[in-house]
Structure 1
Amino acid sequence: MERVASTMGGKVPDAVARLAESPELLNNFLQLTKVFESCTLEPVAREVVVMTVATRNDCHICVTMHTGKLRQLGAGTDVITALRKEQPLDDERLEAVRQFTLEVLATNGGVGDDELKAFLAHGYTERNALEVVLGIGTYTMSTLANRLVRAT
């Protein structure tokens, strides 16, 4: 727990403290978060993945935390509201990320050629498609664990 506190500036949020019951889960989540944040998807697109997973999995703490992150990144209120309400985004490029994330989830990764082409047509790459999977995995672990420990 001291290691976690030092990496978070000394203060450990309650949700993180609850996840620390399994140091393996917490440490791996924190590591995967760093890896996801260093991928080639732009920051707001990464947050679209996170919010899509968080709303789908009904993780209120993740939705709250990542709403704040979207604000820090300068995302507009319209983007944040649509993500929170699981509605289409006006920004076609970000909507492509949201749709692709939903398709990966709905098909357990068995995304059809047309859906992959639609994602790629918005300037994304096959690497980005795999990075979406990385984000889904990272935040599925987080959202499910948060719900299990009743993090609020």
Structure 2
Amino acid sequence: MQPSTTATTSHFPEHTVDTAPTASRRTMEGVTRNLGYLPAAVGRLAESPQTLDGFLKLSAMFETTELDPVAREVVIMTIATRNSCHVCVAMHTAKLTRLAADPELTAALRDQRPLPDPRLDTLRTFTLAALDHTGAVPDETLHAFLAQGFTHRNALEVMLGIGAYTLSTFANRLVDAPVDPALAPFAWHR
């Protein structure tokens, strides 16, 4: 018997806590408590409890790295715009706004152009190089990254962010996750 789901244009069901696989329900309840609503992307990713739980665990680990909150958002937004994940861009634009990040920084990230802060732009360039070279970052890019005060540990932390947010952006695109009404003011169109 097919679970009862919300009708969507996606080929993936948008589960509620009641219709989701049992293994996804606790995670969905936690997300709802944390955000005050259940994002549509979570409802769709809940079809695979391991994918939903894996992303949330990886992103929580990324949040504990030595990279400061704005630097982490630079990594995430660089991946989100490169992979054209409109849900992630909206969500992390909202987060940058809550962090009181420079609006020009946020605009540059959304527009995929150099950042006004040279240190953060080096981080963006390093992240793009890691993606473009599947981790084999050219020596000159790594040296520039380290020269801006980042560490070897930070370089590996960027790889953790790339893993977490490649999973997120690819999965959100696969399930055609919509931008939730709460994020509509931060919508992004490539």
In the superposition, the TM-score normalised over structure 2's length comes to 0.78
Give the total of aligned pairs.
152
Q: Which residue of 2 aligns with 1:62?
A: 88
Q: Deviations over 1:74-123 (max 9, x none)?
A: 11110010000000001011101100000001111111211101000000
Instruction: State how far apart, in whole Å, the 1-side matches of 2:161 and 2:45 are.
Output: 19
Given candidates 111, 120, 136, the residue that maps to 2:137 is 111
Matched, 1:14 2:5: no
Matched, 1:93 2:119: yes
Aligned residues: CA RMSD: 1.0
Return the letter of the residue paired with 2:39.
Answer: P
SS in 2 for 1:133: helix
Instruction: State how far apart, in whole Å, the 1-side matches of 2:127 and 2:157 are.
Output: 10
> Which consecutive aligned stretches of 4+ in structure 1 deviate over 4 angstroms post-superposition?
none
Segments of 5+ residues of structure 1 without an aligned counterpart are none
Segments of 5+ residues of structure 2 without an aligned counterpart are 1-23, 179-190
Structure whose alpha-carbon radius of gyration is higher: 2
State the identity as a percent.
Answer: 56
Instruction: State how far apart, in whole Å, the 2-side matches of 1:13 and 1:93 are.
Output: 33
Contact 2:28–2:42, Cα closer than 8 Å, also in 1: no
1:4 Cα deviation after fit: 1.7
Instruction: State how far apart, in whole Å, the 1-side matches of 2:70 and 2:89 are.
Output: 14
Given candidates 60, 63, 68, the residue that maps to 1:34 is 60
